């Protein structure tokens, strides 16, 4: 079987998931990868046959989307050319992890595909949403990577086509430990903002994963660390708690490890607002943004927070097997 696997490289979650699934997918046939996007911090440890700048998300220093940079990096003519050139029709199976060029190519060439991943779960009205829904956000989640089949991932199985998250084997098999520090991963905030708000919390130690530093840098009780899969896994496994964005992979891994979790959705990113609503239902502390009284909020939360009692049913191998069963409907 020839498998086309389209991976969104906006952020690190899609790449992290792909690296976990790829060895299992390769048991079913030859896998060619299409990597689309321009702002992930992780490297995909596999050959990439097709590559595109795609449509990427960019962030300001203060926790919100940078719309100017996003629009500046869109080239409709280039996207049109890439859609026409992408040879999806030559593959037995097309798997799309929230990538629009592949979706458009499949629709144009009438090629069936599976939209697999977290965003696919929002095809269900049962998946949690914030109190104030966004029409634009809903349209993007449902139309950005349209397909003929959907297989979603979420914190809970809200519908019959939704599975629990893909957890990296290093996390799935890890023995969680509390080394009395807090992991911080807020890539939509600059280091200067992190120093401003976390600098007041001198009674705690923080390991901050930064998109700015090239080498580990210690500044008092704050240690800034370049983003890497291995270093982040180690930090998460051994931390007492984590403060992070309301993405999907990192909160999922923290839930699996039974860590205290505080999340802050990126301003303007509707998917993260939906995730925050789901996490809030589970008992996770959510904040809209960093504020001047963050030190007070943090101390109150840290003193009283308890890990969420949740277990995920499927490992990566089982999820891949279930996806291939669903692929029978596409073949």
**Residue 76: Cβ within 10 Å count:** 7
Tokens representing 214 are: 């090239």
Of the pLDDT bands very low, low, confident and very high (cuts 50, 70, 90), residue 78 is confident
Lookup result for tokens 């992290």: 16
Residue 89 has what pLDDT?
97
Per the DSSP assignment, residues forming a β-bridge with 96 are 6, 115
Tokens representing 110 are: 């009438």
Measured distance CA(36)–CA(51) in Å, rounded:
6
Mean pLDDT over 120-125 rounds to: 98
Residue 76 has what pLDDT?
77
Contact criterion met (CB below 8 Å) for 238 and 170? no
Q: Can you list the alpha helix ranges (DSSP code H) found in the chain?
A: 13-25, 67-72, 76-85, 100-109, 135-143, 169-172, 191-198, 229-238, 249-256, 270-282, 294-304, 316-327
Is the pLDDT score of 24 beyond 80?
A: yes
Residue 60 has what pLDDT?
64
Is the pLDDT score of 68 beyond 80?
A: no
The number of helices, as runs of H, and strands, as runs of E, in the chain is 12, 14
Phi, psi of 283 (to 5 degrees): 105, 10
Tokens representing 149 are: 């089949």
Residue 57 has what pLDDT?
59
Is the pLDDT score of 69 beyond 80?
A: no
Pairing label, strands 182-185, 206-210: parallel
Determine if residue 98 is left, alpha or beta; phi over 0 gives left, psi from -120 to 50 gives alpha, anything else beta: left
Mean pLDDT of the chain: 91
Residue 205 has what pLDDT?
98
Lowest mean pLDDT among 155-164, 243-252, 322-331: 322-331
Mean pLDDT over 244-257 rounds to: 96
Contacts of residue 230, Cβ cutoff 8 Å, sequence gap at least 6:
none
Mean pLDDT over 272-284 rounds to: 97
Residue 44 has what pLDDT?
74
Is the pLDDT score of 307 beyond 90?
A: yes
pTM exceeding the 0.85 threshold for the entire prediction:
yes
Q: Strand 50-52's sheet: what is its strand order?
A: 50-52, 30-36, 2-8, 93-97, 114-117, 149-153, 162-163
Q: What is the pLDDT of residues 98-112, one digit of tens each?
A: 999 999 999 999 999
Residue 55 has what pLDDT?
64
Domains annotated for the chain, with CATH where assigned, are: 2-167+314-327 (3.40.50), 169-304 (3.40.50.2000)
Q: pLDDT higher for 305 or 53? A: 305
Contact criterion met (CB below 8 Å) for 208 and 223? yes
Q: What is the pLDDT of residues 25-57, one digit of tens each?
A: 999 999 999 998 765 555 677 889 998 876 655
Contact criterion met (CB below 8 Å) for 239 and 174? no
Measured distance CA(90)–CA(202) in Å, rounded:
58
Measured distance CA(274)–CA(129) in Å, rounded:
5
Is the pLDDT score of 175 beyond 80?
A: yes
Q: What percent of the chain has pLDDT over 70?
A: 91
Residue 75 has what pLDDT?
72
Contacts of residue 137, Cβ cutoff 8 Å, sequence gap at least 6:
270, 271, 273, 274
């Amino acid at each position: 079987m020839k498998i086309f696997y389209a991976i969104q490289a906006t952020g690190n979650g899609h790449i992290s998931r792909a690296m976990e699934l790829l060895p299992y997918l390769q048991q079913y046939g030859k896998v060619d990868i299409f990597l689309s996007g321009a702002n992930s911090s992780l490297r995909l440890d596999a050959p990439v046959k097709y590559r595109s700048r795609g449509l990427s998300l960019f962030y300001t220093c203060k926790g919100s989307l940078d719309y100017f940079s996003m629009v500046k990096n869109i080239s409709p003519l280039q996207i049109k050319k890439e859609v026409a050139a992408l040879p999806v029709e030559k593959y037995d199976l097309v798997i799309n992890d929230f990538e629009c060029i592949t979706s458009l190519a499949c629709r144009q060439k009438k090629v069936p595909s599976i939209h697999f991943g977290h965003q696919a779960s929002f095809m269900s009205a049962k998946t949690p949403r914030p109190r104030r829904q966004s029409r634009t956000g809903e349209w993007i989640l449902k139309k950005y990577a349209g397909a003929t089949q959907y297989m979603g991932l979420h914190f809970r199985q809200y519908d019959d086509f939704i599975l629990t998250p893909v957890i990296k084997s290093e996390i799935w098999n890890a023995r969680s430990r509390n080394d009395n520090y807090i992991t911080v991963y807020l890539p939509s905030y600059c280091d200067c903002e992190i120093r401003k708000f976390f600098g007041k919390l001198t009674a705690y130690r923080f390991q901050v994963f930064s998109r700015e530093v090239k080498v580990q840098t210690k500044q008092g009780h704050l240690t800034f660390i370049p983003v890497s899969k291995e270093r982040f896994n180690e930090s998460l496994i051994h931390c007492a708690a984590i403060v992070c964005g309301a993405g999907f992979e990192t909160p999922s891994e923290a839930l699996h490890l039974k860590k205290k979790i505080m999340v802050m959705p990126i301003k303007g990113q509707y998917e993260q607002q939906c995730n925050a609503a789901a996490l809030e239902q589970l008992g996770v502390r959510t904040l809209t943004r960093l504020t001047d009284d963050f030190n007070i909020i943090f101390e109150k939360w840290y003193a009283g927070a308890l890990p969420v009692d949740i277990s995920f049913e499927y490992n990566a191998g089982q999820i891949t097997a279930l996806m291939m069963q669903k692929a029978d409907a596409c073949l």
